[in-house]
Amino acid sequence: MTPLRQRFTEDMQLRGLALTTQRSYTHYVADFAKFYNTSPEHLDLEAVRQYQLYLLHEKKLSPESINTFVSAAQFLYQVTMEMPWSKDSFPRMKRPQRLPVVLSPAEVEQFFQHVPGLKYRAAMMTCYGAGLRVSEAVALQVSDIDSQRMVLRVQQGKGQKDRYAMLSPRLLAVLRTWWRAARPYSWLFPSWREGRHLTAASLQKACLDAWKQSGLTKRVTLHTLRHSFATHLLENGTDIRVIQVLLGHSRIDTTARYTTVTPQLIGRTISPLDRLVEPQGKRRNQ
């Protein structure tokens, strides 16, 4: 490992970047150096710009992937190498606005009917029933279930934050059935490898298989279940600020995008025009 890469890794650790983010940044910076066949310390902003164009036109990466490279390069040069380059020196691509795929309650039921195995079914129902990210669901411990207060404790979710998620009576019944069958001791959803929990990749693969068997035309991922959880809460009248807390969003505008995918809620909303009181004289003339 070169001294620069060692320093880069240490800086990411000191600033508390998630392991997945650290791996991603290291990957993009390594490919950047390999493209020019030289260390990034010998490259400048124009090299970063030309590499962005290469990723866009030659590699045809998505705006999200290109922006991840930009974030990695910005961290490397501004933090690790302490270059006096402003944030504006690292332009980002505009990401297209896409509505998340949302299942109806009937489609959710249909999907769950095709999930094989009690463990996978319980884990996926946790993603939907509590609105958890896949990484949060697989990392649950038995001690995180608080049946007295009907909450799930999510330890070190995205952004390394603890929070509480809802534990519905039906989800509690499913988890109890799973616990009685498998008697997990530490991890709620243990892996076949001793001392480890179920991997996100394994659960995602099971979700893909279940979707193919379900016959649903909408593509179903574990994040689709999370989107559906938030949308169904909003359609049932739950305050968006409560949904923000349940999802673990730092910003309300991240949660607000669900308002664009709830036509039922829009249809039930009363227009201010309908609340106006017409003058008495005008009514008699009609």
Burial of 208 per CB tally in 10 Å (0-12, 13-18, 19+): middle
Q: Rounded to an integer, what distance in angstroms lies between the CA atom of residue 258 and that of residue 230?
A: 7
- Has 158 been annotated as catalytic? yes
Q: Rounded to an integer, what distance in angstroms lies between the CA atom of residue 198 and that of residue 206?
A: 12
- Has 258 been annotated as catalytic? yes
Catalytic residue among 121, 133, 163, 197: 133
Catalytic residue among 92, 153, 249, 257: 249
- Has 94 been annotated as catalytic? no
- The residues that bridge with 163 in the sheet, in sequence order, are 154
Instruction: Determine the Cα angle at 102 with ends 146 and 62, to 5°.
Output: 105
Contacts of residue 155, defined as CB under 8 A and 6 or more positions apart, other chains included, come to: 139, 141, 144, 162
- Has 128 been annotated as catalytic? no
- Has 226 been annotated as catalytic? yes
Q: Rounded to an integer, what distance in angstroms lies between the CA atom of residue 238 and that of residue 230?
A: 9
- The residues that bridge with 197 in the sheet, in sequence order, are 190
- Has 249 been annotated as catalytic? yes
Catalytic residue among 114, 158, 218, 257: 158
Catalytic residue among 119, 226, 227, 232: 226
Q: How far is CA 183 from CA 116, 124, 176, 199, in A?
A: 19, 18, 10, 19
- Tell me the catalytic residues: 133, 158, 223, 226, 249, 258
